[in-house]
Structure 1
Amino acid sequence: NFRSYLECQKTCFRIPKVPQICRFPKEEGHCRALLPRYFFSMTSMKCEPFSYGGCGGNSNRFQDLTSCMEYCSPQKTVPMLCLDPLDKGKCSASITRYYYNTATKSCQDFVYTGCGGSSNNFVSRQSCVDVCVKGRKRRLRQKKTKRITIL
């Protein structure tokens, strides 16, 4: 149990790193066109408009806000416990349990031995789906809603 919602969020969720090209500073280029483009600002952690000269510059340059946000915006992903590798445990019982398979992005059954193992261990398929699948989709939906609001 956690003392606060914030403590839970900090412990259970990871924030992916911003991709390397999104870390480059804004660079207008050395030509003189005034093409509307977007770059990801590490200061504001948002995509911002700028005028691109048409040549030179760096890869932190996107034709539209949506492309910039899709590629660069950090987002919370699945809870950390869903990323734990499958570990059947160390005892000799045979209990059907469920784990989140990161490769298939789905919940699958496995035989739990009754003790030890990882946190990626759910009593029911539904509880696995609620935490690892629906939670992920909900966070992605919230991100898209924020994007629409920004536009």
Structure 2
Amino acid sequence: MKPKAILGALALHFLVEQAASVKWSHCWRLKAVGNCKSKISAWYYDIWSLSCKGFTYSGCGGNANRFRSEEECQKACTFGSKVKKVCSLVPKPGNCTGFSPSWYYDAEVDVCRGFIYGGCYGNANRFTSCKACMKRCSGKRNANKICKKQTAAFRKRYNLGLEPKPKKSRWPFTLPIPFLKE
């Protein structure tokens, strides 16, 4: 490599490191719930999804990657992007007469809940499934378990019937083989 290229790369690396240590380093930290017993709604920046997600803070300990609101998190950690609240919006079922089972994120308890969307005048805190909602808005790792429970309760509450079972593949074990006789 040429000396100018090496010098340029080192200078760029130095500038990035300095910028990161001054303003953004707290955004790059992992979520830390702390070690007390309180349950406080908070937000952290998830570097893997490049978005702010909710979590329940314990009240003490933790780290600097903790914000009071989704908007505060976005302002601190989403660089050059326009701040757009999604998960912290109050769900709007709309005033139309449609019937669309949907999901919204409840930041107070860090889970997604079902509601019936009327088809118009809603907002961005509306998802087609519990899993999509949890993936976007919550930092919990056990989303599948939570969604299984929440979906069952939602379907029962709105009399939506049982969850359809996934179709099992019939191949290769259940197909009759004509040349083999029992």
- TM-score class normalised by the smaller sequence: 0.3 to 0.5
- Higher Rg: 2
Q: So what's the TM-score if we normalise by structure 1?
A: 0.43
Normalised by the length of structure 2, the TM-score is 0.36
